[in-house]
Amino acid sequence: MKILVTGGAGYIGSHMVGILLRAGHEVVILDDFSSGHLDAVAGGMLVRGSMGDALLLDELFTKSHFDAVMHFAGFIQVGESTSLPDKYYRNNVASTLVLLDAMLRHRVGLFIFSSSAAVFGEPHYSPIDEGHPKVPINPYGHSKLMIEQILADYDQAYGFRSVSLRYFNAAGADPGGANGERHDPETHLIPLVLQTASGRQRAITVFGRDFPTPDGTCIRDYIHVIDLCEAHLLALRYLVEKGVTNSFNLGNGAGHSVQQVIDAAQRVTGRPLAVIDAPRREGDAARLVAAFDHARRILGWTPKYAALDTIIAHAWRWECRMADCLPIQG
């Protein structure tokens, strides 16, 4: 198949491009490099530009007869979305609408959307399944839920088929250390912990030790980036074979606390970590864990890299490449 990957120079998108190419698909990457990295591009044809550029999209869709689009070109920082909601609604909603309408004009009817567990808001129960109430608590989550609603409406009105994949906490790196996570600024726990181990960061801050969890730190569901990408590949096959719009939660189904992540990082790296304790952040839930039974049943998907030490070991190889820290343990 010929597939357009938006945001294909970013963290998850670049891993997806590599998996698609290895599976024998033809790939075109569209990225404006607002957060992507040129050296992360694994191959395929690269087009530098915005998904909100209707003229560029018309030219691209006219030249390339795509079978499907995988959409990763969203802004992802929850805190920033609160202070700059216009940035998130403009890119995550308005520009995505430009992309969807270009697909309609050029009769490309298969779409896989990078959504988020942020659509659920505060958890009413755990693990969180697809039927959980969707009440986002920040503009980022609202932007993702808006697109999910638009996709449902486009399906009913135009027969536009899509799969929305709701990530919990994407983590890890290419197992060989060739590609990994590098956001600016970095806000995710595992890379921050490993930057502390490598010396690129002085200490790791733990926000709250008074949550109602076994060790008092909050629990999150970490899913390996390669497992995420494999779910996208299965979702593509599902759309081709079944042609039914659907949504799936993606996680390990078993959460790990902040302290467990720190302990695992010390095991994997063999290095002690400096830790700073701080008060809870407003809006942090005690436990966010996915129920992925729907994805297992319908897509045939289960995580292969579910062990926390494995996720951290792969991310550590990448961090050592970034920080030039040797030896690599784990």
Per-residue pLDDT of the chain (330 residues; tens, 9 = 90+): 999 999 999 999 999 999 999 999 999 999 999 999 999 998 999 999 999 999 999 999 999 999 999 999 999 988 899 999 999 999 999 999 999 999 999 999 999 999 999 999 989 999 999 999 999 999 999 999 999 999 999 999 999 999 999 999 999 999 988 899 998 888 899 999 999 999 999 999 999 999 999 999 999 999 999 999 999 999 999 999 999 999 999 999 889 999 999 999 999 999 999 999 999 987 788 899 999 999 999 999 999 999 999 999 999 999 999 988 754 444
Catalytic residue among 11, 88, 140, 305: 140
Is there a catalytic annotation at residue 140?
A: yes
Which DSSP symbol is given to 164?
E
Nearest partner of 111 among 75, 158, 78, judged by Cα: 158
Q: All domains of the chain, ordered by start, with CATH?
A: 2-170+222-250 (3.40.50.720), 176-220+254-289+305-323 (3.90.25.10)
Q: 7-28: b or e for each residue (b if 16 or more CB lie within 10 Å)?
A: bbbbbbbbbbbbbbeeeebebb
Return phi, psi of residue 233, to 5°: -65, -40
